[in-house]
Amino acid sequence: MSHPHDSRRAQARCPICRRPAVAAHAPFCSATCRDRDLLAWLEGRYVLPGPPAADAADRDA
């Protein structure tokens, strides 16, 4: 038996604006939110905590 709130919980949400995701732009709701996410990656706004990774030149030495 399914829970009455399962359909709401299963609805994927856009990680940018929290609107329902659209399959054509998954996991986003629109091309605008998809492009905003890409821009954030390109600008370096998404980072993982921790020490900086070594440069390729440092690894080859």
**Residue 7 CA to its chain's centroid (Å):** 22
Prediction pTM value:
0.63
Rounded to an integer, the average pLDDT of 4-12 is 65
9 versus 19: the higher-pLDDT residue is 19
Average pLDDT value over all residues in the chain: 84
Cα separation, 4 vs 44, whole angstroms? 41
